Structure 1
Amino acid sequence: MHNADPQELEKFGELAHRWWDPDGEFRPLHQINPLRLGWMTSFVPLQGLRVVDVGCGGGILAESMARTGADVLGIDLSVKPLKVARLHALEAGVASLDYREIAAEALAAEQPASFDVVTCMEMLEHVPDPASVVQACSRMVKPGGWVFFSTLNRNLKSFLMAIVGAEYVLNMLPRGTHEYARFLQPHELAGFARQAGLSLHASTGLSYNPVTQRYALSADTSVNYLLACRRL
Protein backbone atom coordinates (compact mmCIF):
# COMPACT_ATOMS: atom_id res chain seq x y z
CA MET A 1 0.00 0.00 0.00
CA HIS A 2 1.27 3.45 -0.91
CA ASN A 3 1.41 6.15 1.74
CA ALA A 4 -1.20 8.15 -0.15
CA ASP A 5 -4.84 9.13 0.12
CA PRO A 6 -6.74 8.19 -3.09
CA GLN A 7 -9.12 11.11 -2.56
CA GLU A 8 -6.21 13.53 -2.37
CA LEU A 9 -4.68 12.13 -5.57
CA GLU A 10 -8.00 12.40 -7.37
CA LYS A 11 -8.58 15.93 -6.08
CA PHE A 12 -5.32 17.25 -7.48
CA GLY A 13 -5.65 15.14 -10.61
CA GLU A 14 -8.93 16.84 -11.48
CA LEU A 15 -7.24 20.25 -11.22
CA ALA A 16 -4.10 19.26 -13.12
CA HIS A 17 -4.98 21.18 -16.28
CA ARG A 18 -4.97 24.39 -14.23
CA TRP A 19 -1.55 23.84 -12.64
CA TRP A 20 0.37 26.35 -14.75
CA ASP A 21 -2.31 29.05 -14.81
CA PRO A 22 -0.78 31.81 -12.63
CA ASP A 23 -4.25 33.21 -11.95
CA GLY A 24 -5.97 29.85 -11.32
CA GLU A 25 -6.39 27.54 -8.36
CA PHE A 26 -2.62 27.18 -7.95
CA ARG A 27 -1.90 30.89 -7.93
CA PRO A 28 -0.53 30.72 -4.35
CA LEU A 29 2.09 28.16 -5.46
CA HIS A 30 3.20 30.45 -8.28
CA GLN A 31 3.43 33.36 -5.86
CA ILE A 32 5.43 31.59 -3.14
CA ASN A 33 7.72 29.64 -5.47
CA PRO A 34 10.36 32.41 -5.91
CA LEU A 35 10.41 32.88 -2.13
CA ARG A 36 10.94 29.23 -1.26
CA LEU A 37 13.48 28.74 -4.06
CA GLY A 38 15.43 31.80 -2.95
CA TRP A 39 15.39 30.62 0.67
CA MET A 40 16.72 27.18 -0.26
CA THR A 41 19.46 28.49 -2.53
CA SER A 42 20.63 30.80 0.25
CA PHE A 43 21.82 27.61 1.98
CA VAL A 44 22.93 25.53 -0.98
CA PRO A 45 23.43 26.62 -4.61
CA LEU A 46 21.64 24.02 -6.71
CA GLN A 47 23.65 24.27 -9.92
CA GLY A 48 25.18 20.90 -10.80
CA LEU A 49 23.50 19.10 -7.89
CA ARG A 50 21.18 16.10 -8.07
CA VAL A 51 17.79 17.03 -6.59
CA VAL A 52 14.54 15.14 -6.02
CA ASP A 53 11.26 16.99 -5.48
CA VAL A 54 8.87 14.76 -3.50
CA GLY A 55 5.21 15.42 -4.26
CA CYS A 56 6.10 17.57 -7.26
CA GLY A 57 2.56 17.90 -8.60
CA GLY A 58 2.57 19.82 -11.87
CA GLY A 59 6.24 20.72 -11.54
CA ILE A 60 6.32 24.39 -10.53
CA LEU A 61 9.18 23.97 -8.04
CA ALA A 62 10.92 21.15 -9.92
CA GLU A 63 11.09 23.16 -13.13
CA SER A 64 12.36 26.27 -11.37
CA MET A 65 15.14 24.26 -9.72
CA ALA A 66 16.11 22.74 -13.07
CA ARG A 67 16.36 26.25 -14.49
CA THR A 68 19.05 27.00 -11.90
CA GLY A 69 21.17 24.20 -13.39
CA ALA A 70 20.23 21.36 -11.06
CA ASP A 71 19.60 17.81 -12.27
CA VAL A 72 16.04 17.38 -11.01
CA LEU A 73 13.75 14.40 -10.59
CA GLY A 74 10.15 15.15 -9.66
CA ILE A 75 8.08 12.35 -8.16
CA ASP A 76 4.38 12.07 -7.43
CA LEU A 77 1.62 9.46 -7.32
CA SER A 78 -1.00 11.58 -9.09
CA VAL A 79 -0.77 10.73 -12.79
CA LYS A 80 -2.47 13.75 -14.37
CA PRO A 81 -0.26 16.41 -12.73
CA LEU A 82 2.82 14.44 -13.83
CA LYS A 83 1.58 14.50 -17.43
CA VAL A 84 1.08 18.25 -17.17
CA ALA A 85 4.56 18.66 -15.67
CA ARG A 86 6.20 16.66 -18.46
CA LEU A 87 4.36 18.58 -21.17
CA HIS A 88 5.19 21.97 -19.68
CA ALA A 89 8.89 21.09 -19.34
CA LEU A 90 8.93 19.87 -22.95
CA GLU A 91 7.26 23.01 -24.26
CA ALA A 92 9.55 25.23 -22.16
CA GLY A 93 12.66 23.37 -23.29
CA VAL A 94 13.89 22.78 -19.75
CA ALA A 95 16.76 20.29 -19.66
CA SER A 96 18.01 18.15 -16.76
CA LEU A 97 14.47 17.46 -15.59
CA ASP A 98 12.61 14.16 -15.35
CA TYR A 99 9.42 12.94 -13.67
CA ARG A 100 8.39 9.57 -12.26
CA GLU A 101 5.22 8.12 -10.81
CA ILE A 102 6.71 6.58 -7.67
CA ALA A 103 6.27 6.86 -3.91
CA ALA A 104 8.98 8.49 -1.82
CA GLU A 105 9.41 5.30 0.19
CA ALA A 106 9.90 3.23 -2.98
CA LEU A 107 12.46 5.63 -4.43
CA ALA A 108 14.32 5.67 -1.11
CA ALA A 109 14.60 1.89 -1.23
CA GLU A 110 15.68 2.01 -4.88
CA GLN A 111 18.17 4.88 -4.64
CA PRO A 112 19.35 5.40 -1.04
CA ALA A 113 21.80 8.23 -0.35
CA SER A 114 21.68 9.28 -4.01
CA PHE A 115 20.62 12.94 -3.97
CA ASP A 116 22.40 16.11 -2.86
CA VAL A 117 19.12 17.87 -2.08
CA VAL A 118 15.60 16.65 -1.33
CA THR A 119 12.60 18.96 -1.33
CA CYS A 120 9.13 18.15 0.00
CA MET A 121 6.92 21.21 -0.26
CA GLU A 122 3.21 21.53 0.56
CA MET A 123 2.90 17.74 0.55
CA LEU A 124 3.13 16.37 4.09
CA GLU A 125 -0.32 17.71 5.01
CA HIS A 126 -1.84 15.55 2.27
CA VAL A 127 -0.54 12.08 3.24
CA PRO A 128 -1.72 9.62 5.91
CA ASP A 129 1.75 9.06 7.39
CA PRO A 130 3.98 12.15 7.10
CA ALA A 131 6.69 10.62 9.32
CA SER A 132 7.17 7.89 6.71
CA VAL A 133 7.75 10.50 4.00
CA VAL A 134 10.25 12.35 6.19
CA GLN A 135 12.10 9.06 6.79
CA ALA A 136 12.17 8.40 3.04
CA CYS A 137 13.52 11.89 2.33
CA SER A 138 16.32 11.25 4.83
CA ARG A 139 17.17 7.92 3.23
CA MET A 140 17.36 9.46 -0.25
CA VAL A 141 19.74 12.29 0.59
CA LYS A 142 23.51 11.84 0.79
CA PRO A 143 25.24 12.28 4.16
CA GLY A 144 25.69 16.01 4.65
CA GLY A 145 23.01 16.73 2.07
CA TRP A 146 20.06 19.08 2.49
CA VAL A 147 16.37 18.30 2.97
CA PHE A 148 13.78 21.08 2.79
CA PHE A 149 10.19 20.79 4.01
CA SER A 150 7.26 23.16 3.98
CA THR A 151 3.81 22.61 5.41
CA LEU A 152 1.07 24.19 7.53
CA ASN A 153 1.06 24.68 11.28
CA ARG A 154 -1.87 23.36 13.33
CA ASN A 155 -3.54 25.98 15.51
CA LEU A 156 -6.58 28.25 15.51
CA LYS A 157 -4.86 30.93 13.44
CA SER A 158 -3.85 28.49 10.70
CA PHE A 159 -7.38 27.05 10.64
CA LEU A 160 -8.89 30.52 10.25
CA MET A 161 -6.38 31.69 7.63
CA ALA A 162 -5.48 28.57 5.63
CA ILE A 163 -8.94 27.00 5.53
CA VAL A 164 -11.67 29.52 6.42
CA GLY A 165 -9.94 32.51 4.87
CA ALA A 166 -8.10 30.99 1.90
CA GLU A 167 -10.74 28.44 0.88
CA TYR A 168 -14.08 29.97 1.91
CA VAL A 169 -13.66 33.75 2.17
CA LEU A 170 -10.97 34.79 -0.31
CA ASN A 171 -11.44 31.75 -2.61
CA MET A 172 -7.68 31.54 -3.06
CA LEU A 173 -7.86 27.73 -2.98
CA PRO A 174 -10.57 25.22 -3.90
CA ARG A 175 -12.73 24.28 -0.94
CA GLY A 176 -11.55 21.04 0.61
CA THR A 177 -7.92 21.56 -0.39
CA HIS A 178 -6.74 21.10 3.19
CA GLU A 179 -7.79 18.97 6.14
CA TYR A 180 -6.99 20.69 9.43
CA ALA A 181 -6.26 17.47 11.35
CA ARG A 182 -3.34 16.76 9.01
CA PHE A 183 -1.56 20.05 9.68
CA LEU A 184 1.76 19.62 11.51
CA GLN A 185 3.12 21.78 14.28
CA PRO A 186 6.81 22.67 13.79
CA HIS A 187 7.93 20.65 16.81
CA GLU A 188 6.15 17.58 15.41
CA LEU A 189 7.86 17.87 12.03
CA ALA A 190 11.19 18.59 13.70
CA GLY A 191 10.68 15.45 15.79
CA PHE A 192 10.04 13.36 12.66
CA ALA A 193 13.20 14.82 11.14
CA ARG A 194 15.36 14.00 14.18
CA GLN A 195 13.99 10.45 14.30
CA ALA A 196 14.95 10.10 10.64
CA GLY A 197 18.55 11.17 11.24
CA LEU A 198 18.22 14.77 10.13
CA SER A 199 19.45 17.81 12.02
CA LEU A 200 17.38 20.99 11.93
CA HIS A 201 19.45 23.82 10.48
CA ALA A 202 16.96 26.69 10.07
CA SER A 203 13.29 27.59 9.83
CA THR A 204 11.23 30.44 8.46
CA GLY A 205 7.62 31.45 8.18
CA LEU A 206 5.65 32.42 5.12
CA SER A 207 3.10 35.19 5.65
CA TYR A 208 0.30 36.49 3.44
CA ASN A 209 -0.93 40.07 3.37
CA PRO A 210 -4.58 40.10 2.16
CA VAL A 211 -4.39 43.84 1.46
CA THR A 212 -1.41 43.72 -0.90
CA GLN A 213 -2.15 40.08 -1.84
CA ARG A 214 1.54 39.32 -1.44
CA TYR A 215 3.49 36.64 0.36
CA ALA A 216 6.74 37.25 2.23
CA LEU A 217 9.21 35.26 4.31
CA SER A 218 8.92 36.17 7.96
CA ALA A 219 9.69 35.02 11.50
CA ASP A 220 6.02 34.10 11.93
CA THR A 221 5.68 30.32 11.60
CA SER A 222 2.12 30.20 12.94
CA VAL A 223 0.55 29.36 9.56
CA ASN A 224 2.94 28.40 6.75
CA TYR A 225 6.51 27.46 7.58
CA LEU A 226 9.63 25.90 6.05
CA LEU A 227 12.38 23.81 7.63
CA ALA A 228 15.93 23.32 6.36
CA CYS A 229 17.55 20.09 7.54
CA ARG A 230 20.83 18.24 6.91
CA ARG A 231 21.51 14.53 6.91
CA LEU A 232 23.81 13.55 9.76
Structure 2
Amino acid sequence: MTTMTNADPKELAKFSELAHKWWDPESEFRPLHQINPLRLGWIEQCAGPLDGRRIVDVGCGGGILSEAMARKGAQVLGVDLAERSLKVAQLHAMEAGIDNVQYREVAAEVLADEQPGQFDIVTCMEMVEHVPDPSSIIAACAKLVKPGGWVFLSTLNRNPKSFLFAIVGAEYLLRMLPAGTHEYAKFIRPSELATWCRSAGLDLLQTRGMEYNPLTKRYWLSGDTSVNYLLACRKGTT
Protein backbone atom coordinates (compact mmCIF):
# COMPACT_ATOMS: atom_id res chain seq x y z
CA MET A 1 0.00 0.00 0.00
CA THR A 2 1.13 3.50 -0.85
CA THR A 3 2.26 5.72 2.00
CA MET A 4 -0.63 8.07 2.72
CA THR A 5 1.18 11.39 2.70
CA ASN A 6 -1.87 13.49 1.83
CA ALA A 7 -4.81 11.73 3.45
CA ASP A 8 -6.70 12.06 6.70
CA PRO A 9 -6.97 8.64 8.41
CA LYS A 10 -10.28 9.69 9.96
CA GLU A 11 -11.70 10.49 6.54
CA LEU A 12 -10.55 7.15 5.12
CA ALA A 13 -12.04 5.30 8.08
CA LYS A 14 -15.32 7.16 7.68
CA PHE A 15 -15.74 6.16 4.04
CA SER A 16 -14.48 2.64 4.68
CA GLU A 17 -17.27 2.11 7.21
CA LEU A 18 -19.81 3.04 4.54
CA ALA A 19 -18.12 1.17 1.70
CA HIS A 20 -20.75 -1.56 1.42
CA LYS A 21 -23.39 1.10 0.68
CA TRP A 22 -21.70 2.77 -2.31
CA TRP A 23 -23.98 1.20 -4.89
CA ASP A 24 -27.21 1.42 -2.90
CA PRO A 25 -29.06 4.38 -4.51
CA GLU A 26 -31.17 4.83 -1.37
CA SER A 27 -28.19 4.93 1.02
CA GLU A 28 -26.05 7.81 2.26
CA PHE A 29 -24.59 7.89 -1.26
CA ARG A 30 -27.95 8.67 -2.85
CA PRO A 31 -26.92 12.28 -3.66
CA LEU A 32 -23.91 11.01 -5.65
CA HIS A 33 -26.15 8.71 -7.68
CA GLN A 34 -28.55 11.57 -8.33
CA ILE A 35 -25.91 14.08 -9.46
CA ASN A 36 -23.83 11.61 -11.46
CA PRO A 37 -25.75 12.10 -14.76
CA LEU A 38 -25.28 15.86 -14.37
CA ARG A 39 -21.55 15.51 -13.76
CA LEU A 40 -21.12 13.08 -16.64
CA GLY A 41 -23.11 15.22 -19.06
CA TRP A 42 -21.13 18.33 -18.13
CA ILE A 43 -17.82 16.53 -18.66
CA GLU A 44 -18.97 15.39 -22.12
CA GLN A 45 -20.26 18.85 -22.93
CA CYS A 46 -16.84 20.36 -22.20
CA ALA A 47 -14.45 17.64 -23.38
CA GLY A 48 -16.50 15.93 -26.09
CA PRO A 49 -17.19 12.18 -26.47
CA LEU A 50 -15.39 9.99 -23.95
CA ASP A 51 -15.10 6.95 -26.20
CA GLY A 52 -11.45 5.92 -26.46
CA ARG A 53 -10.23 8.60 -24.07
CA ARG A 54 -7.86 7.67 -21.23
CA ILE A 55 -9.22 8.98 -17.93
CA VAL A 56 -8.06 8.87 -14.32
CA ASP A 57 -10.68 9.46 -11.61
CA VAL A 58 -8.86 10.74 -8.52
CA GLY A 59 -10.65 9.92 -5.27
CA CYS A 60 -12.98 7.54 -7.08
CA GLY A 61 -14.57 6.04 -3.97
CA GLY A 62 -16.87 3.19 -4.94
CA GLY A 63 -16.57 3.96 -8.64
CA ILE A 64 -19.90 5.65 -9.41
CA LEU A 65 -18.40 8.20 -11.83
CA SER A 66 -15.54 5.93 -12.96
CA GLU A 67 -17.94 3.23 -14.09
CA ALA A 68 -20.25 5.73 -15.81
CA MET A 69 -17.33 7.08 -17.85
CA ALA A 70 -16.25 3.54 -18.72
CA ARG A 71 -19.77 2.82 -19.98
CA LYS A 72 -19.23 5.71 -22.40
CA GLY A 73 -16.24 3.86 -23.88
CA ALA A 74 -13.38 5.50 -21.96
CA GLN A 75 -10.42 3.61 -20.56
CA VAL A 76 -10.72 4.55 -16.90
CA LEU A 77 -8.38 4.20 -13.95
CA GLY A 78 -10.01 4.94 -10.60
CA VAL A 79 -7.62 5.69 -7.73
CA ASP A 80 -8.31 6.09 -4.03
CA LEU A 81 -6.73 5.31 -0.66
CA ALA A 82 -9.83 3.72 0.89
CA GLU A 83 -9.19 0.02 0.31
CA ARG A 84 -12.70 -1.17 1.11
CA SER A 85 -14.29 1.32 -1.27
CA LEU A 86 -12.00 0.15 -4.06
CA LYS A 87 -12.94 -3.47 -3.46
CA VAL A 88 -16.60 -2.56 -3.76
CA ALA A 89 -15.87 -0.69 -7.00
CA GLN A 90 -13.93 -3.63 -8.43
CA LEU A 91 -16.67 -6.10 -7.54
CA HIS A 92 -19.42 -3.94 -9.06
CA ALA A 93 -17.51 -3.52 -12.32
CA MET A 94 -16.84 -7.26 -12.49
CA GLU A 95 -20.48 -8.12 -11.87
CA ALA A 96 -21.51 -5.60 -14.54
CA GLY A 97 -19.04 -7.06 -17.04
CA ILE A 98 -17.19 -3.78 -17.51
CA ASP A 99 -13.56 -4.52 -18.32
CA ASN A 100 -12.41 -1.03 -19.37
CA VAL A 101 -12.27 0.33 -15.83
CA GLN A 102 -9.48 -0.54 -13.41
CA TYR A 103 -8.95 0.48 -9.80
CA ARG A 104 -5.79 1.06 -7.83
CA GLU A 105 -4.95 2.01 -4.26
CA VAL A 106 -2.43 4.79 -4.79
CA ALA A 107 -2.02 8.46 -3.89
CA ALA A 108 -2.57 10.94 -6.71
CA GLU A 109 0.88 12.44 -6.15
CA VAL A 110 2.57 9.03 -6.47
CA LEU A 111 0.64 8.19 -9.63
CA ALA A 112 1.57 11.57 -11.09
CA ASP A 113 5.25 10.77 -10.60
CA GLU A 114 4.73 7.37 -12.24
CA GLN A 115 2.57 8.44 -15.19
CA PRO A 116 3.02 12.14 -15.91
CA GLY A 117 1.08 13.45 -18.89
CA GLN A 118 -0.55 10.12 -19.65
CA PHE A 119 -4.26 10.95 -19.39
CA ASP A 120 -6.63 12.82 -21.70
CA ILE A 121 -8.95 13.69 -18.82
CA VAL A 122 -8.55 13.84 -15.05
CA THR A 123 -11.57 14.01 -12.76
CA CYS A 124 -11.48 14.78 -9.05
CA MET A 125 -15.01 15.13 -7.73
CA GLU A 126 -16.12 15.79 -4.14
CA MET A 127 -12.67 14.86 -2.86
CA VAL A 128 -10.36 17.85 -2.34
CA GLU A 129 -12.34 19.03 0.71
CA HIS A 130 -11.44 15.77 2.47
CA VAL A 131 -7.61 15.94 2.30
CA PRO A 132 -5.06 17.89 4.40
CA ASP A 133 -3.41 19.56 1.38
CA PRO A 134 -5.84 20.08 -1.51
CA SER A 135 -3.35 22.16 -3.51
CA SER A 136 -1.10 19.09 -3.72
CA ILE A 137 -3.97 17.12 -5.28
CA ILE A 138 -4.54 19.85 -7.85
CA ALA A 139 -0.84 19.86 -8.75
CA ALA A 140 -0.95 16.07 -9.16
CA CYS A 141 -4.01 16.29 -11.42
CA ALA A 142 -2.23 18.86 -13.58
CA LYS A 143 0.82 16.62 -13.80
CA LEU A 144 -1.25 13.57 -14.78
CA VAL A 145 -3.06 15.22 -17.68
CA LYS A 146 -1.63 15.53 -21.19
CA PRO A 147 -0.96 18.96 -22.68
CA GLY A 148 -4.32 20.14 -24.02
CA GLY A 149 -6.15 17.68 -21.75
CA TRP A 150 -8.98 18.41 -19.36
CA VAL A 151 -9.15 18.47 -15.55
CA PHE A 152 -12.58 18.49 -13.90
CA LEU A 153 -13.02 19.36 -10.22
CA SER A 154 -15.93 19.74 -7.84
CA THR A 155 -16.14 20.74 -4.20
CA LEU A 156 -17.98 22.96 -1.70
CA ASN A 157 -17.68 26.71 -1.29
CA ARG A 158 -16.81 28.17 2.12
CA ASN A 159 -19.32 30.78 3.27
CA PRO A 160 -22.31 31.03 5.66
CA LYS A 161 -24.76 29.82 2.99
CA SER A 162 -22.76 26.66 2.28
CA PHE A 163 -22.52 25.94 6.01
CA LEU A 164 -26.29 26.28 6.30
CA PHE A 165 -27.10 24.22 3.19
CA ALA A 166 -24.34 21.60 3.05
CA ILE A 167 -23.92 20.87 6.76
CA VAL A 168 -26.95 22.04 8.75
CA GLY A 169 -29.43 21.27 5.98
CA ALA A 170 -28.01 18.21 4.23
CA GLU A 171 -26.50 16.46 7.25
CA TYR A 172 -28.74 17.39 10.17
CA LEU A 173 -32.15 18.53 8.89
CA LEU A 174 -32.70 16.56 5.68
CA ARG A 175 -30.30 13.77 6.70
CA MET A 176 -29.19 13.34 3.09
CA LEU A 177 -25.67 12.63 4.38
CA PRO A 178 -24.34 11.23 7.67
CA ALA A 179 -23.65 13.88 10.29
CA GLY A 180 -19.95 14.73 10.20
CA THR A 181 -19.49 13.96 6.49
CA HIS A 182 -18.06 17.41 5.90
CA GLU A 183 -15.90 19.77 7.94
CA TYR A 184 -16.69 23.41 7.21
CA ALA A 185 -13.10 24.59 7.71
CA LYS A 186 -12.02 22.38 4.80
CA PHE A 187 -14.47 23.90 2.33
CA ILE A 188 -12.73 25.75 -0.51
CA ARG A 189 -13.66 29.06 -2.10
CA PRO A 190 -13.69 29.11 -5.93
CA SER A 191 -11.02 31.83 -5.90
CA GLU A 192 -8.73 29.57 -3.84
CA LEU A 193 -9.26 26.57 -6.09
CA ALA A 194 -8.77 28.69 -9.21
CA THR A 195 -5.47 30.03 -7.81
CA TRP A 196 -4.18 26.49 -7.21
CA CYS A 197 -5.22 25.49 -10.73
CA ARG A 198 -3.40 28.40 -12.33
CA SER A 199 -0.32 27.76 -10.21
CA ALA A 200 -0.31 24.19 -11.50
CA GLY A 201 -0.42 25.32 -15.13
CA LEU A 202 -4.13 24.83 -15.72
CA ASP A 203 -6.37 27.31 -17.53
CA LEU A 204 -9.79 27.73 -15.94
CA LEU A 205 -12.39 27.61 -18.72
CA GLN A 206 -15.73 27.11 -17.01
CA THR A 207 -17.28 27.32 -13.56
CA ARG A 208 -20.68 25.87 -12.77
CA GLY A 209 -22.78 25.67 -9.65
CA MET A 210 -24.98 22.77 -8.58
CA GLU A 211 -28.28 23.45 -6.85
CA TYR A 212 -30.84 21.26 -5.10
CA ASN A 213 -34.54 21.67 -4.39
CA PRO A 214 -35.50 19.66 -1.27
CA LEU A 215 -39.19 19.74 -2.21
CA THR A 216 -38.82 18.29 -5.71
CA LYS A 217 -35.59 16.46 -4.76
CA ARG A 218 -34.09 17.63 -8.03
CA TYR A 219 -30.52 18.74 -8.79
CA TRP A 220 -29.49 21.02 -11.64
CA LEU A 221 -26.46 22.95 -12.86
CA SER A 222 -26.58 26.74 -12.73
CA GLY A 223 -24.45 29.83 -12.44
CA ASP A 224 -24.79 29.88 -8.64
CA THR A 225 -21.48 28.67 -7.14
CA SER A 226 -22.31 29.65 -3.56
CA VAL A 227 -22.62 26.05 -2.29
CA ASN A 228 -21.61 23.17 -4.60
CA TYR A 229 -19.56 24.07 -7.66
CA LEU A 230 -17.53 22.53 -10.48
CA LEU A 231 -14.51 23.74 -12.44
CA ALA A 232 -13.39 22.75 -15.93
CA CYS A 233 -9.71 23.37 -16.70
CA ARG A 234 -7.32 22.61 -19.56
CA LYS A 235 -3.60 22.18 -19.52
CA GLY A 236 -1.66 24.42 -21.85
CA THR A 237 0.06 22.93 -24.88
CA THR A 238 3.21 25.02 -24.53
Q: What TM-score does the superposition give when structure 1 sets the normalisation length?
A: 0.99
1:1-232 equivalence runs, <5 A:
1-44=4-47, 45-232=49-236
Q: Residues 175-211 of structure 1, C-alpha deviation per residue, up to 9 Å, x if partnerless? A: 0000000000001000000000000010100000011
Gaps of 5+ in 2: none
**What is the distance in 2 between the residues matched to 1:214 and 1:175?**
21
What is the aligned-residue RMSD (CA, Å)? 0.5
Output the amino acid matched with 1:166.
A
- Tell me the CA shift for residue 94 of structure 1: 1.0
Tell me how far apart the structure 1 counterparts of residues 118 and 73 of structure 2 sit (CA, whole Å): 18
Tell me, in whole angstroms, the C-alpha distance in 2 between the residues paired with 1:198 and 1:84: 32
Match of 2:51, SS state, is coil
Which amino acid in the other structure matches residue 99 of structure 2? Answer: A
Q: How far did 1:2 drift?
A: 1.5
Q: Deviations over 1:123-164 (max 9, x none)?
A: 000000000000000000000000000000000000000000
User: How many angstroms apart in 2 are the aligned matches of 1:47 and 1:119?
Assistant: 16
- Residue identity matched to 1:13: S
CA–CA distance in structure 1, aligned partners of residues 178 and 92 of structure 2: 23
AA in 2 matched with 1:34: P
How many pairs were matched up? 232
Cα distance per residue 1:103-141 (max 9 Å; x no partner): 000000000000000000000000000000000000000
What secondary structure, in the 3-state scheme, does the structure 1 residue paired with 2:142 have? helix
**Amino acid paired to 2:26:** D
What's the CA shift for 1:95? 2.1
Q: Secondary structure at the match of 2:84?
A: helix
- Please, which runs of 5 or more residues in structure 1 have no aligned partner? none
**How far did residue 43 of structure 1 move?**
1.4
Give 3-state SS (helix, strand or coil) of 2:46's partner. Answer: coil
Letter in 2 for 1:154: R
